Amino acid sequence: MVDVDALPGADDDVIRLDQDLADLQSSFAASPWAARRPVAVEVDVETPVGAHILRCRIDAVFEDPDGGFVVVDWKTGRPSRDPSGRAARELQLASYRLAWSRWRDVPLELVRAAFFYAESGETMTPDRLGDAAEIEALLEAATMPSGGDAGTPRREAER
């Protein structure tokens, strides 16, 4: 089992301890997400990817007029400027997208995904998110111990 949120870089980069909840709420209220009604909130989904079973907690999902969906992951901080941090987050978002696609039996190309950063009010949509094969390859690389064999995960994460 791999808890996607436990992968390196998947959590918020920096969360200021003195963040004002009212500021975060105001930022959300000014975003396009505030006017939309989610079809799902805080959904726990598990899906197999290669030798792994991914455990995902999807923050929110919105239906689009074209019949597709947008999976949104809320972040309290600001977008990462570090390429490795962005790559880990994109793996997280790609995993959520794949999990939703399989859980709802919706073609993957009809499931989009985005991060909403509450501190800055920014919505970030990666140019491209991987499919199951790409996620599997990234998971293998992320869970491989140095010098170990491909069948031995570095860690198992449970929530």
Residue 76's SS3 state is coil
What pLDDT band is residue 53 in, cutting at 50, 70 and 90? very high
Residue 4 confidence (pLDDT): 53
Mean pLDDT of the chain: 81
44 has which bridge partners? 57
Burial class (CB in 10 A: 0-12, 13-18, 19+), 17: exposed
Per DSSP (E only), the strands in 35-82 are 40-49, 52-63, 69-75
Measured CA distances, 18 to 10, 26, 81 (Å): 22, 16, 22
Residue with tokens 């079973």: 53
CB 114 within 8 A of CB 125: yes
Residue type for position 66: D
Q: How far apart are CA 43 and CA 55, in angstroms?
A: 10
Q: What is the pLDDT of residue 158?
A: 34
Q: What ranges do the domains of the chain cover?
A: 2-143
Global pTM reads 0.76
Write out the H or E segment, with its range, that includes residue 93: helix 83-104
> pLDDT, tens digit, for every residue of 10-41?
555 444 545 577 888 888 889 999 999 999 99
Q: Give the architecture (CATH level 2) of 2-143.
A: Alpha-Beta Complex (3.90)
Q: Residue 102 in contact with residue 9, Cβ under 8 Å?
A: no
Residue located via tokens 């990462």: 80
Q: Is the per-residue pLDDT at 52 higher than 60?
A: yes
pLDDT digits (tens, 9 = 90+) for 112-135: 999 999 888 999 999 889 999 999
